């Protein structure tokens, strides 16, 4: 790759290194310069620009990031579409992040243009959370580097996987000593129940008994018959030795003590045992608090099907100082609120119009490749990484819904469809709940827009980086559909007449990112019989 100042006479096809302001608006970093862009730069008085030009053997940043991400992804992860050289690995279900730290170090030492960041090993994940990000910081990587990374990952990988939590029913034994109140026992039960539910499991039978060998042994045997797994024992006093009441009761009931104690604070006085194939965990007193402690680490790993033996417990000492001090004040709820996750993007398919330019026919119901146009559009929306798909109906609403039968799509009816496009836009946006971060507004008559195009828009969305409005382009020309961040929803529902939200793009140009989809699909809507005929002819020759 050649990088540096390039004369405008030679700049067509080069990648712009930095954003440049022109009399007709900014050309942003990463834009592949077309002939029209060169003209705009000349109008701004420029004769050269800082740009990158690819050479044979270069792999463009998005393609390089995609290939490496796909090689790095293990079970339970999904690869988001690459944009600006970044491809993220997203958790498909709740579980624990499994990360190969040695492999990560080797990859990050491979080439300065390749960077990979992951969560810490065994971090608790929720569906949709980002587990890793592959970022190519140069505009391209040498093919040899990409191939080297792929070979390494496929030989020793995956780099990142998610060990999903299993759904189990746990049993709980609460022991009491003199002075133990019912209120304390109820609080401990409630905290343990909440922990289990947060991991997708539930609390079954609860036994309360005195803190003596015979009583605890009897309670273990009672829950053994219930097939509880794991069996949790919360003692009225802490476990300080293998000969103490709880480990001795486990042994008397036919179980085996695996390990006592752990290098995690709080949580040192924890017991790990087995009763047949089932887990038995003797809880430290700190398990009565909702704050994270060593018990959480053991419970999470066992519910994820991971071994927790002597070696695994010993390794927990690295990072095991969980006790909060004046030096390390990091409230758990604040860290949770900052969890990075994939954006929740909805797609609104506008399917309420009257198709006046098609004559008596409803263009959305016309067939293309043996399927109605609106069904084409909706299926592509559903195949994308969008969180939710909603169709706005109006004209011939019942027929449109019948056409979409069997698809996992929600509906909102627009009774005012005859008043113009804006009424459908308002109806769709108003139907979105507060968990939605953004919306792609898809026209129901654009059947050539594919799921991959939509995913590319979603990958570009990053409000904190000034990318709240994602606009598709081709050869410098803007098209549809557009992704809008939730910050613009209030303005979108104020639009009136037979118009969309295009004017808002100009008003918020600082939040616009242009996404080159390399497809003319963003310009093709079926408004006339002639357009439909041309698309059918093209389909016949595919």
Phi (first) and psi of residue 212, to 5 degrees:
-140, 165
CATH of the domain at 86: 3.90.1170.30
Report percent pLDDT > 70 for the chain: 95
368 and 328 in a common domain: no
In this model, does residue 274 exceed pLDDT 70?
Answer: yes
157 and 173 in a common domain: no
Instruction: Supply the angle between the helices 294-303 and 182-198 in degrees, to the nearest 10.
Output: 50
- What is the 3 state secondary structure string of 37-73? HHHHHHHCCCCEEEEEECCCCEEEHHHHHHHHHHHHE
* Helix, strand, coil content of the chain in percent (nearest 5): 35, 30, 35
Of the CA atoms within 13 Å of residue 29, those in its CB half-sphere come to: 13
Phi (first) and psi of residue 384, to 5 degrees:
-80, 180
Which range, of 67-81, 112-126, 347-361, averages the lowest pLDDT?
347-361
Q: In angstroms, how far apart are the furthest CA atoms of the chain? A: 91
DSSP secondary structure letter of residue 470: E
Whole-angstrom distance, CA of residue 532 vs CA of residue 538:
10
Residue 232, in any domain of the structure:
yes
- How many domains is the chain partitioned into structurally? 4
Residue 475: which pLDDT band, with cuts at 50, 70 and 90? Answer: confident
196 and 114 in a common domain: no
Residue 325: which pLDDT band, with cuts at 50, 70 and 90? Answer: very low
In the numeric block, which tokens belong to residue 162?
């998610």
- Report residue 190 CA to chain centroid gap: 31
Q: 0.75 cut: is pTM over it?
A: yes
Whole-angstrom distance, CA of residue 466 vs CA of residue 454:
19
In the numeric block, which tokens belong to residue 455?
């995913």
377 and 416 in a common domain: yes
357 and 435 in a common domain: yes
DSSP for 286-338, written as a single string: GGGSSS--HHHHHHHHHHTT---SHHHHHHTTTT-B----SS----HHHHHHT
Residue 280, in any domain of the structure:
yes
Write down the pLDDT at residue 533.
Answer: 86
Write down the pLDDT at residue 339.
Answer: 60
Q: Tell me: the pLDDT tens digits for 333-352?
A: 444 445 677 899 999 999 99
DSSP for 81-128, written as a single string: PPBTTEEEEEESSSEEEEE-HHHHHHHHTT-TTEEEEEPPTT-EE-TT
For the segment 1-24, the average pLDDT, to the nearest whole number, is: 91
66 and 42 in a common domain: no
DSSP secondary structure letter of residue 394: B
Q: Give pairs for 71-74: CB < 8 Å, separation 24+.
A: 71/149, 71/150, 71/153, 71/154, 71/157, 72/116, 72/132, 72/134, 72/153, 72/157, 72/158, 72/159, 72/160, 73/158, 73/159, 73/160, 73/161, 74/98, 74/157, 74/158, 74/159, 74/160, 74/161, 74/162
In the numeric block, which tokens belong to residue 399?
């027929």
Write down the pLDDT at residue 357.
Answer: 67
Residue 340, in any domain of the structure:
no
Residue the block writes with tokens 């609460």? 174
Judge whether 22 and 44 are in contact, CB under 8 Å: yes
Write down the pLDDT at residue 470.
Answer: 96
User: Given 316, 335, 354, which residue is the final one in a domain?
Assistant: 335
Q: Tell me: the pLDDT tens digits for 71-96?
A: 999 999 999 999 999 999 999 999 99
330 and 279 in a common domain: yes
237 and 331 in a common domain: yes
Which range, of 98-112, 188-202, 242-256, 491-505, averages the lowest pLDDT?
491-505
Max mean pLDDT among 27-36, 103-112, 529-538 falls in 103-112
Residue 323: which pLDDT band, with cuts at 50, 70 and 90? Answer: confident
Q: Tell me: the pLDDT tens digits for 125-175?
A: 999 999 999 999 999 999 999 999 999 999 999 999 999 999 999 999 999
CATH of the domain at 42: 3.90.105.10
Residue of higher predicted confidence among 94 and 527: 94
Residue 529, in any domain of the structure:
yes
Residue 436, in any domain of the structure:
yes
Write down the pLDDT at residue 361.
Answer: 78
Judge whether 51 and 17 are in contact, CB under 8 Å: yes
Report percent pLDDT > 90 for the chain: 81
Q: Identify the three-state secondary structure at position 162.
A: strand
CATH of the domain at 279: 3.40.980.10
88 and 235 in a common domain: no
Q: Tell me: the pLDDT tens digits for 405-436?
A: 999 999 999 999 988 889 999 999 999 999 99
Residue 258, in any domain of the structure:
yes
For the segment 86-107, the average pLDDT, to the nearest whole number, is: 97
CB atoms within 10 A of CB 126: 13
239 and 153 in a common domain: no
The average confidence (pLDDT) of the chain is: 92
Residue 15, in any domain of the structure:
yes
Residue 452: which pLDDT band, with cuts at 50, 70 and 90? Answer: very high
Residue 283, in any domain of the structure:
yes
In this model, does residue 50 exceed pLDDT 90?
Answer: yes
Write down the pLDDT at residue 330.
Answer: 44
Write down the pLDDT at residue 341.
Answer: 79
Q: Tell me: the pLDDT tens digits for 213-224?
A: 999 999 999 998
32 and 139 in a common domain: no
- Residues of the domain holding 14: 2-53
500 and 359 in a common domain: yes
Residue 271: which pLDDT band, with cuts at 50, 70 and 90? Answer: very high
Whole-angstrom distance, CA of residue 435 vs CA of residue 441:
17
Query: What is the distance in angstroms between the CA of the first residue and the CA of the last residue of the chain?
Result: 35
Whole-angstrom distance, CA of residue 11 vs CA of residue 52:
9
């Amino acid at each position: 790759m050649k990088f540096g100042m390039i004369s405008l006479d030679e700049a067509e096809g080069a990648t712009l290194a930095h954003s440049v302001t022109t009399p007709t608006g900014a050309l942003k970093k990463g834009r592949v310069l077309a002939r029209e862009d060169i003209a705009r730069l000349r109008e701004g008085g420029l004769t050269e620009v800082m740009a990158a030009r690819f050479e044979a053997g270069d792999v463009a940043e998005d393609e390089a990031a995609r290939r490496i991400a796909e090689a790095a992804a293990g079970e339970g992860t999904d690869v988001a579409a690459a944009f600006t050289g970044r491809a993220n690995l997203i958790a498909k279900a709740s579980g624990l992040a499994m990360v190969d730290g040695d492999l990560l170090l080797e990859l990050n030492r491979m080439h300065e243009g390749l960077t990979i960041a992951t969560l810490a090993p065994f971090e608790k994940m929720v569906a949709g959370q980002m587990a890793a990000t592959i970022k190519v910081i140069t505009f391209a990587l040498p093919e040899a580097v990409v191939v080297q990374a792929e070979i390494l990952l496929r030989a020793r990988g995956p780099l990142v996987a998610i060990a999903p939590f299993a759904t189990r029913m746990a049993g709980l034994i609460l022991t009491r000593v003199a002075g133990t109140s019912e209120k304390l026992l109820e609080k401990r039960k409630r905290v343990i129940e909440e922990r289990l539910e947060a991991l997708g499991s539930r609390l079954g039978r609860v036994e309360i008994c005195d803190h003596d060998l015979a009583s605890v042994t009897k309670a273990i045997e009672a829950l053994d018959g219930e097939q509880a797994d794991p069996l949790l024992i919360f003692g009225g006093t802490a476990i300080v030795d293998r000969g103490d009441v709880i480990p001795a009761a486990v042994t008397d009931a036919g179980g085996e003590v695996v390990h006592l104690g752990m290098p995690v604070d709080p949580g040192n006085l924890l017991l790990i045992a087995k009763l047949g194939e089932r887990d038995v965990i003797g809880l430290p007193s700190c398990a009565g608090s909702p704050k994270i402690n060593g018990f959480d680490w053991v419970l999470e790993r066992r519910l994820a099907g991971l071994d927790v033996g002597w070696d695994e417990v010993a390794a927990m000492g690295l990072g095991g100082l969980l006790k909060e001090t004046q030096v390390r004040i990091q409230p758990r709820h604040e860290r949770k609120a900052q969890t990075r996750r994939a954006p929740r993007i909805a797609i609104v398919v506008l399917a309420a119009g009257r198709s006046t330019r098609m004559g008596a026919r409803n263009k959305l119901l016309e067939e293309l490749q043996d399927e109605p146009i609106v069904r084409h559009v909706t299926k592509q929306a559903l195949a994308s990484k969008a969180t939710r798909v909603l169709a706005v109906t109006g004209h011939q609403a019942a027929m449109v819904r019948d056409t979409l039968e069997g698809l996992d799509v929600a509906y909102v009816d627009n009774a005012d469809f005859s008043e113009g496009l804006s009424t459908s836009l308002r109806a769709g946006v108003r139907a979105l709940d507060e968990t939605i971060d953004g919306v792609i507004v898809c026209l129901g008559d654009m059947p050539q827009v594919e799921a991959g195009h939509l995913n590319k828009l979603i990958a570009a969305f990053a409000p904190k980086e000034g990318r709240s409005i994602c606009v598709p382009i081709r050869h410098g020309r803007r098209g549809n559909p557009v992704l809008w961040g939730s910050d613009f929803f209030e303005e979108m529902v104020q639009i009136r007449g037979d118009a969309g939200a295009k004017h808002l793009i100009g008003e918020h140009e600082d939040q616009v990112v242009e996404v080159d989809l390399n497809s003319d699909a963003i310009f093709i809507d079926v408004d006339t019989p002639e357009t439909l005929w041309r698309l059918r002819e093209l389909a016949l020759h595919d």
